[in-house]
């Protein structure tokens, strides 16, 4: 099996796993315990927090460990929106339809169940949330804007600093979902100037089931998991010590190896994009042609059932992904793809190919040799 789905998840780096293992059976203490075993675990969590803060250029007390990227998004949106409204009454939330569901569904819930007002920010044909679209939407009653750093389905990178500047000038809290971006982009919160930023470990060779939320000092947050006083009383629950240790080590390694990881995947990605568009008729790139994640290629093929194509690829030994969350019966195109303006006959045929540390030229060559005939096969079956 050739794995081309690193945007869905990544294998745990061996060095990360080696760091984690002692915290399962040797140093298994509860960081909240007073005894030495507890203190040892607490020291590991403290060290992890410092490591994460160093990569983010934030302070350790601005890092909240969570159970995943989705939880970080939930805590950021719900926690900050409610705290903001409690403090000064603002009711509007701004986000876009290209956001991960962890953000967009949370925003919809805030509208439905918590009486917030929700406005969807426009995106351009590349899926970029532009400064103009944010400028157009802000008003004096806006509580929070949330715009993702890089899109998981189409790879587009948003101008986070430019957006954050507008938010700041209008006294609006700004959150960015950097879960997909952190594997390749600089997550320096001083440069980005955001109030809140979400991260998830398994997108950058850390374990699944652990994430972090950066919360700039002074940003009010209502906890959504109440109980013990862990994580500055913002997120109750006994610390998942090995996973937190693994998360920090994985993030540390990304920062250290960012350039070589980028120069490893980028030429392979460019080869995929170039050859697919050249060799497959009725194919288009989705997302931004240049301003996109270096490991990310995504396409739509006209009159192709994306799910069928994935099955054909799987049978041929390639693990890829599609934007459309279509199940058998009633396929619905992905909202991210349709928000770029593609009609249904294009939007249903989406394919995402994402690379990582173990990708190599032989794999890509073999993929590029196989894909055109599988697209034609899927097209043939679509017509029947
Ligand atoms: C994967 C992903 C998430 C969700 O992260 P989990 O850790 O899987 O919950 C959120 N946002 C983006 C952009 C993602 O790619």
Is 347 near ligand 1, meaning CB less than 6 Å away?
A: no
Domain ranges across the chain: 2-8+258-383, 14-256
Question: Residue 105 half-sphere exposure, CB side, CA atoms within 13 Å?
Answer: 6
Q: What is the phi/psi pair of residue 75, to 5°?
A: -65, -40
195 Cβ contact list (under 8 Å, min separation 6):
80, 167, 173, 174, 175, 215, 216, 219
Is 179 near ligand 1, meaning CB less than 6 Å away?
A: yes
Neighbouring-strand partners of residue 372? none
Residue 326 a catalytic site member: yes
Pairing status of strand 142-146 against strand 92-96: parallel
pLDDT digits (tens, 9 = 90+) for 285-320: 999 999 999 999 999 999 999 999 999 999 999 999
Is 195 near ligand 1, meaning CB less than 6 Å away?
A: no
Q: Which residue has the tokens 């995943």?
A: 68
pLDDT digits (tens, 9 = 90+) for 4-44: 999 999 999 999 999 999 999 999 999 999 999 999 999 99
306's tokens = 């994306």
Q: What is the pLDDT of residue 305?
A: 94
Is 185 near ligand 1, meaning CB less than 6 Å away?
A: no
Of 64-68, 215-219, 332-336, 340-344, the poorest mean pLDDT is in: 332-336
Q: What's the rounded mean pLDDT across residues 187-193?
A: 98
Q: What is the phi/psi pair of residue 189, to 5°?
A: -75, -20
Q: What is the pLDDT of residue 332?
A: 83
How many Å lie between the centroid of ligand 1 and the Cα of residue 183? 12
Question: CB-based burial of residue 99 (10 Å sphere; 0-12 exposed, 13-18 middle, 19+ buried)?
Answer: buried
Ligand 1: nearest atom to the Cα of 73:
10
Question: CB-based burial of residue 159 (10 Å sphere; 0-12 exposed, 13-18 middle, 19+ buried)?
Answer: middle
Question: What are the C-alpha distances in Å from 215 to residues 75, 80, 104, 236, 289?
Answer: 10, 10, 20, 16, 32
CATH class of the domain comprising 14-256: alpha beta
pLDDT digits (tens, 9 = 90+) for 238-283: 999 999 999 999 999 999 999 999 999 999 999 999 999 999 999 9
Tell me the best of 175, 200, 250 to mutate to test the pocket of ligand 1, counting ligand atoms within 8 Å of each CB and taking the most: 200
Q: What is the pLDDT of residue 242?
A: 98
Is 70 near ligand 1, meaning CB less than 6 Å away?
A: yes
- Specify the residue with its C-alpha closest to ligand 1, atom 5: 69
Separation CA 160–CA 329 (nearest Å): 39
- For residues 28-38, one letter each, b for 16 or more C-beta atoms within 10 angstroms of the residue's C-beta and e for the rest, the string is ebebeeeeeeb
Q: What is the DSSP string of 243-257?
A: HHHHHHHHHHHHHHH
Is 152 near ligand 1, meaning CB less than 6 Å away?
A: yes
How many Å lie between the centroid of ligand 1 and the Cα of residue 103? 9
How many Å lie between the centroid of ligand 1 and the Cα of residue 227? 25
How many Å lie between the centroid of ligand 1 and the Cα of residue 235? 19
CATH class of the domain comprising 2-8+258-383: alpha beta
The mean predicted confidence, pLDDT, of the chain is 96
Tell me the best of 181, 203, 335 to mutate to test the pocket of ligand 1, counting ligand atoms within 8 Å of each CB and taking the most: 203
Enter the DSSP assignment of 59.
-
Query: Of residues 68, 139, 320, 326, which has the active-site annotation?
Result: 326
CA angle 258, 323, 204 (to 5 degrees): 20
Element at 52 (helix H, strand E): helix 36-56
How many Å lie between the centroid of ligand 1 and the Cα of residue 384? 37
pLDDT digits (tens, 9 = 90+) for 88-147: 999 999 999 999 999 999 999 999 999 999 999 999 999 999 999 999 999 999 999 999
pLDDT band of 331, cuts 50, 70, 90: confident
Q: What is the pLDDT of residue 330?
A: 60
pLDDT digits (tens, 9 = 90+) for 163-181: 999 999 999 999 999 999 9
pLDDT band of 324, cuts 50, 70, 90: low
Is 68 near ligand 1, meaning CB less than 6 Å away?
A: yes
Q: What is the pLDDT of residue 323?
A: 61
Q: Answer for the pair 64, 233: CB distance below 8 angstroms, yes or no.
A: no
Q: What is the pLDDT of residue 136?
A: 97
Is 153 near ligand 1, meaning CB less than 6 Å away?
A: no
Ligand 1: nearest atom to the Cα of 180:
15
Separation CA 316–CA 363 (nearest Å): 12
Question: What are the C-alpha distances in Å from 365 to residues 236, 281, 301, 304?
Answer: 48, 19, 20, 22
91 Cβ contact list (under 8 Å, min separation 6):
85, 115, 116, 117, 141, 143
253's tokens = 């390694």
Question: What are the C-alpha distances in Å from 185 to residues 47, 79, 93, 150, 220?
Answer: 23, 26, 26, 9, 27
311's tokens = 């099955």
Q: What is the pLDDT of residue 384?
A: 64
């Amino acid at each position: 099996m050739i794995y081309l789905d690193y945007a869905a998840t990544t294998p745990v780096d061996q060095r990360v796993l080696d760091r984690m293992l002692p915290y399962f059976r040797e140093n298994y203490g509860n960081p909240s315990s007073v005894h030495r075993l507890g203190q040892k675990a607490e020291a590991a969590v403290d060290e992890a927090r410092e490591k994460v803060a160093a990569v983010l250029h934030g302070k350790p007390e601005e890092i909240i460990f969570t159970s995943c990227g989705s939880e970080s998004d939930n805590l950021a949106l719900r926690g900050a929106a409610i705290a903001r409204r409690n403090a000064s009454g603002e009711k509007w939330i701004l986000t876009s339809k290209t956001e991960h569901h962890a953000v967009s569904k949370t925003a919809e819930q805030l509208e439905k169940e918590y009486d917030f007002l929700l406005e969807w920010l426009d995106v351009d044909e590349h899926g970029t949330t532009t400064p103009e679209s944010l400028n157009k939407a802000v008003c004096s009653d806006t509580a929070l804007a949330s715009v993702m750093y890089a899109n998981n389905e189409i790879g587009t990178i948003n101008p986070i600093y430019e957006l954050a500047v507008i938010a700041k000038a209008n006294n609006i809290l700004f959150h960015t979902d950097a879960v997909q971006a952190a594997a390749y982009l600089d997550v320096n919160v001083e440069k980005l100037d955001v109030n809140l930023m979400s991260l998830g470990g398994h997108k950058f060779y850390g374990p699944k089931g652990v994430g972090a939320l950066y919360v700039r000092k002074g940003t009010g947050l209502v906890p959504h998991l109440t109980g013990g006083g862990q994580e500055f009383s913002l997120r109750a629950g006994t610390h998942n010590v090995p996973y937190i240790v693994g998360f920090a080590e994985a993030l540390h390694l990304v920062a250290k190896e960012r350039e070589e990881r980028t120069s490893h995947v980028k030429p392979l990605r460019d080869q995929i994009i170039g050859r697919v568009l050249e060799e497959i008729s009725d194919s288009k790139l989705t997302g931004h042609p240049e301003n996109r994640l270096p490991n990310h290629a995504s396409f739509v093929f006209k009159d192709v059932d994306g799910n069928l194509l994935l099955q054909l690829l799987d049978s041929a030994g390639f693990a890829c992904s599609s934007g459309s969350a279509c199940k058998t019966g009633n396929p619905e195109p992905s909202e991210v793809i349709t928000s770029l303006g593609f009609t249904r006959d294009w939007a249903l045929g989406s394919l995402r190919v994402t690379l990582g540390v173990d990708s190599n030229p032989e794999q890509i060559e073999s993929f590029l040799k196989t894909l055109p005939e599988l697209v034609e096969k899927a097209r043939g079956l679509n017509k029947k």
